[in-house]
């Protein structure tokens, strides 16, 4: 999801989707977790410090293709577990940070755990971008080691260079479509209040029985079934997509992030 320009620490505070979801999930967490452990959980300011420029998207700008977080998942492939492992690693580290009252580490892990979950539940992140990069660049994404190499494709001929860059950056291009979808989400939720996203006791009880991994993968499938990215690719941003974003997509994401944080708190400070 869009998290701002990542050029400064305050980037994305107004229209950043990750930042908005973090604040809403933190609000909902305070409604469903009433134990003393909540006092040890990072507040909004601490969490948002590790978003935008200090978040996973900032790493992509600062250090192209070197240890970049890659938050894509193929919902049609049960064997695609790279993002699942990232989510579970951040959850484990958050629990440990809470247990040891390490406020800075807890804020970092809470922010990056949320970012990984949100990206995994973003329709645009269900597109096999890694495969497309390898097809266009002729090498894996990890081997694009410079800023120029990451942003410019060298084809076999001049015409091949133009065609490949247009396919990636041009109108209806792979990355342009990806960015426009995420920016459309950002603008469509700018004034929405999301007053009814708090997990119900029934939802929460079922989620606790499933555990974080199954809850996350269940949400991935729910978002995948919405078929929003395919619709956007064909028709562009529509009123119907905006309504679906506000009424279905974002509430699903907020609940999942809220539960991930709740689950970490429950492990670190059992009620």
pLDDT digits (tens, 9 = 90+) for 105-125: 999 999 999 999 999 999 999
CA dist list (Å): 259 to 38, 121, 158, 251 = 14, 14, 51, 12
Q: Which residues contact 264 (CB under 8 A, 6 or more apart)?
A: 91, 94, 95, 98, 110, 113
Q: Name the percent of the chain lying above pLDDT 70.
A: 92
Helices 82-99 & 103-120 angle (0-180, nearest 10): 160
Mean pLDDT of 80-86: 94
Q: Is the pLDDT of residue 12 over 70?
A: no
Q: Is the pLDDT of residue 271 over 80?
A: no
pLDDT value, residue 67: 67
Mean pLDDT of 73-97: 95
Q: Is the pLDDT of residue 246 over 70?
A: yes
Q: Which of 51, 10, 4 is nearest to 257 (CA)?
A: 51
Q: Of the ranges 37-51, 186-200, 226-240, 247-261, which is most confident?
A: 247-261
Q: Among 19-23, 41-45, 57-61, 228-232, which stretch is predicted with the lowest mean pLDDT? A: 57-61
Q: Is the pLDDT of residue 36 over 90?
A: no
Higher local confidence (pLDDT), 227 or 146: 227
pLDDT value, residue 55: 81
Q: Is the pLDDT of residue 215 over 60?
A: yes
pLDDT digits (tens, 9 = 90+) for 141-198: 878 878 888 888 898 999 999 999 999 998 888 889 998 998 899 988 988 899 999 9
Looking at every residue in the chain, the average pLDDT score rounds to 89
């Amino acid at each position: 999801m869009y998290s701002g320009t990542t050029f400064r620490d305050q980037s994305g505070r107004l229209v950043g989707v990750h930042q908005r979801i973090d604040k809403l999930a933190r609000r909902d967490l305070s409604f469903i977790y009433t134990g003393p452990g909540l006092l040890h959980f990072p507040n909004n300011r601490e969490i948002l410090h590790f978003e935008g420029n200090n978040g996973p998207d900032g790493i992509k700008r600062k250090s192209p293709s070197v240890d970049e977080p890659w938050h894509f998942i193929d919902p049609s492939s049960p064997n695609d577990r790279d993002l699942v492992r990232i989510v579970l690693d951040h959850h484990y580290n958050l629990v440990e940070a809470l247990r040891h009252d390490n406020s800075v580490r807890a804020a970092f892990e809470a922010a990056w755990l949320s970012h990984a979950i949100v990206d995994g539940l973003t329709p645009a992140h269900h597109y096999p971008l890694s495969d497309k990069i390898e097809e266009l660049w002729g090498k894996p994404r990890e081997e694009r080691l410079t800023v120029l190499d990451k942003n410019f494709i060298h084809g076999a001929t001049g015409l091949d260079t133009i065609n490949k860059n247009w396919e990636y950056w041009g109108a209806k291009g792979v990355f342009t479509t990806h960015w426009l979808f995420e920016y459309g989400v950002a603008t469509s939720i700018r004034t929405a209040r999301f007053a009814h996203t708090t997990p119900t006791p029934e939802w929460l009880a079922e989620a606790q029985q499933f555990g974080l991994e199954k809850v996350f993968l269940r949400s991935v499938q729910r978002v995948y079934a919405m078929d929003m990215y395919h619709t956007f690719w064909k028709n562009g941003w529509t009123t119907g997509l905006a309504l679906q974003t506000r009424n279905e997509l974002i509430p699903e994401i907020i609940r999942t992030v809220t539960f991930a944080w709740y689950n970490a708190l429950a492990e670190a400070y059992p009620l």
